[in-house]
Structure 1
Amino acid sequence: MKDVHRPRESMDLNLLRVFEMVYREQHLTRSAEALALTPSAVSHALRRLREQLGDPLFVRDGKLMRPTPACLRQAPALITQLAQLRQMLQRWGHFEPSQSRQRFRIGMPDAVELMLLPALHHAVSALAPLCSIVSAHFDRAGLGRQLAAGQLDLAIDVAQPMVEPVRHGHLLSDAFCLLARAGHPLGGPPALPDYLAARHVAVSSRATGVVMEDATLAQMGLQREVAVRCQNYTSAFRVLSGSDLLLTVPARLADAVAPPGLQRWPLPFELPAVQLHVYWHAHNEGDPANDWLRARVLSLAG
């Protein structure tokens, strides 16, 4: 009988990281992307694991990688132990903000970056002057993979349904207001009929689909005309400054980056406030650097 016990004693822990991701994703290509590896490297790692553990671990089912019965039995406990090992090693490490040169990678949409990144840089650099921040786009559907793979330390985004091992906490609420150029023909805050009769700028990273204000109006049986749909608020502000269009925008974002020459009015209807949350991976619980960074982000709520 083949002796597989000695290879297990000298197993490369990086192989277990690959195993964990393939077990979660059950898809070779997605696992490779999350791990920043090539599919062939993931396949090679799985082959080594199969040889060392004496089990196929996963079998192909179309594009999916289905766990074997033995894998289904053992994987949950193994993944729990890996998480505990990460937590232990993280707590072992010491994070001294004033001396650290750590690079923090934070996922955030454009609007959140405009609103929070300057204040976050100030909050971090005041206590950790040698640390750096990378603001990065992310795919909401793949956020859990990016956090698990260490591609992101945190993410800041609107409230989204999440399940373990992704964790999240409320950061802030941001109510909407209405912006128009100085000297706009309306002359002051519009009543609802005037709002609906005006033409508007909408902002969305998506080329199609309904934005929040239009969804709310549709629930009321109402509709407005969108003359320009922008990908970001920077462009929307510039369009607004040279036109008679109106822009419905989160108030905190307007405070942070709206240019001079725009006037602010209250909305003539109730629009739910934007809820921003902070997202992190469970295996970063107890990591001194990640805990410190989350505290700096949460300090922005004030």
Structure 2
Amino acid sequence: MADTKAIQQLDLNLLKIFEALYLEQNMTLASKSLFITPSAVSHAIKRLRLVLNDPLFVRQGLQMQPTAACQRMAPQLISALNRIRQVLQQCGEFDPLTTEQTFKIAIHEALESQIMPTLIKQVVKLIPHAKIASMSLSRENIARQLANGEVDLAIDVARAVNAPLAHKTLLSDPFCVLIDRRQHAMYLEPSTKLTPTDYANAEHVAVSSRPIGRVMEDILLQQQGVNRHIKYRCQSYQTAAKIVIGSPLMLTLPRSIAEQFIHPDLHVCTMPFELPDIDTHLYWHMNTETDPAFVWLRAQIEMAIIAK
């Protein structure tokens, strides 16, 4: 059992050494990352072992393998250390050239390939020592994640949020319809457009993480009295586009996403119904509203959207 009194008096520098050894799992590499000697790393781990009453790491050749207790503790401990770094960085001036922050962006899978490549190419030389992590977006948890710092920014379709969350429109995108050229050759002629009747009578593939229920475009279509026959559902637009190839199925999606699927068998048609554009928003917590690092990052994301 850990020594409670010793924990209260613990030298927090030991935790930084613990973090380095856990990440490197090698005494020499850990010491190099911290600019100290391997013996200093070994001495620090011995002190932690006494306090926590656990070996923490077991040598296997050149590797230092974490024990079961170490594996349970390390992710939370490293997360806490990263949070402390973020808090301390906010106390000083932000310099993109020297910051070592990790910027965590939660983004919908469909939007990641649109935004992240342009953003990273844009900032690669501006933040040489920082990192950007693109994370899966959980709409159920995003408010909590933004509040506790698990996520710095979120990018998703427009939805209702309340303070202390803030948001801003990044782009507006019209819906379109993706079809197979050979199956729908008549729509390749400029004079022949996809009609509301043909659209309503067709079979469709929809993108959703849920096996049943209405997807976003169905809500808008049903407001106009249009009910589609959804034959297949899948989790990504990339998969849906591949399903369309060689089939009579139609895929309704934002135009900017459709334009990513360059394929000789695919053709983009104008949506035969007047639907509102789909808006993509940038979300953040008011705690970071005036933080120089996140003000800078939000500006970079907006510039990436313009440059795309």
User: Is TM > 0.5 for Structure 1 vs Structure 2?
Assistant: yes
Single out whichever of 116-125 and 154-163 deviates more from structure 2: 116-125
Residues 178 and 247 of structure 1 are in contact (CA less than 8 Å); yes or no, is this contact kept in structure 2?
A: yes
Partner of 1:200: 204
Residue 230 of structure 1: CA displacement?
Answer: 0.9
SS of residue paired to 2:128: coil
- Structure label with greater radius of gyration: 2
Partner of 2:130: 131
Single out whichever of 192-201 and 114-123 deviates more from structure 2: 114-123
- Quick one: distance in 2 between partners of 1:293 and 1:100? 12
Q: Deviations over 1:224-252 (max 9, x none)?
A: 21111111111101101131211111011
Residue 155 of structure 1: CA displacement?
Answer: 0.2
Aligned counterparts, 1:158-237, within 5 A: 158-188=157-187, 189-237=193-241
TM-score under structure 2 normalisation?
0.66
- Quick one: distance in 2 between partners of 1:125 and 1:249? 31
Amino acid at match of 2:163: E
- Quick one: distance in 2 between partners of 1:260 and 1:149? 46
Residue 101 of structure 1: CA displacement?
Answer: 3.0
Residue 114 of structure 1: CA displacement?
Answer: 2.5
SS of residue paired to 2:230: strand
Cα distance change of structure 1 residues 198 and 88 upon mapping to structure 2, 3 Å threshold: closer
- Quick one: distance in 2 between partners of 1:258 and 1:130? 35
Residue 257 of structure 1: CA displacement?
Answer: 4.2
Cα distance change of structure 1 residues 272 and 126 upon mapping to structure 2, 3 Å threshold: farther
Residue 113 of structure 1: CA displacement?
Answer: 1.1
- Asked if 1:95 is matched to 2:94, the reply is yes
Cα distance change of structure 1 residues 285 and 185 upon mapping to structure 2, 3 Å threshold: closer
Cα distance change of structure 1 residues 293 and 176 upon mapping to structure 2, 3 Å threshold: same
Residues 180 and 267 of structure 2 are in contact (CA less than 8 Å); yes or no, is this contact kept in structure 1?
A: yes
Residues 196 and 223 of structure 1 are in contact (CA less than 8 Å); yes or no, is this contact kept in structure 2?
A: yes
Residues 180 and 264 of structure 1 are in contact (CA less than 8 Å); yes or no, is this contact kept in structure 2?
A: yes
Aligned counterparts, 1:62-73, within 5 A: none
- Asked if 1:298 is matched to 2:288, the reply is no
TM-score under structure 1 normalisation?
0.67
Partner of 1:58: none
Match of 1:246 among 247, 250, 266: 250
CA RMSD of aligned residues (A): 2.5
Residue 144 of structure 1: CA displacement?
Answer: 1.7
Return 5+ residue gaps in structure 2 as ranges.
1-74, 78-85, 188-192
Return 5+ residue gaps in structure 1 as ranges.
1-35, 39-86
Cα distance change of structure 1 residues 140 and 88 upon mapping to structure 2, 3 Å threshold: closer
Residues 182 and 246 of structure 2 are in contact (CA less than 8 Å); yes or no, is this contact kept in structure 1?
A: no
Residues 108 and 156 of structure 2 are in contact (CA less than 8 Å); yes or no, is this contact kept in structure 1?
A: yes
Amino acid at match of 1:295: A
Partner of 2:282: 278
Amino acid at match of 1:275: D
SS of residue paired to 2:161: coil
Q: Deviations over 1:176-195 (max 9, x none)?
A: 11111222235203111111
Q: Deviations over 1:95-136 (max 9, x none)?
A: 222333322111111111122121122222142233322111
Q: Deviations over 1:64-108 (max 9, x none)?
A: xxxxxxxxxxxxxxxxxxxxxxx9966532322233332211111
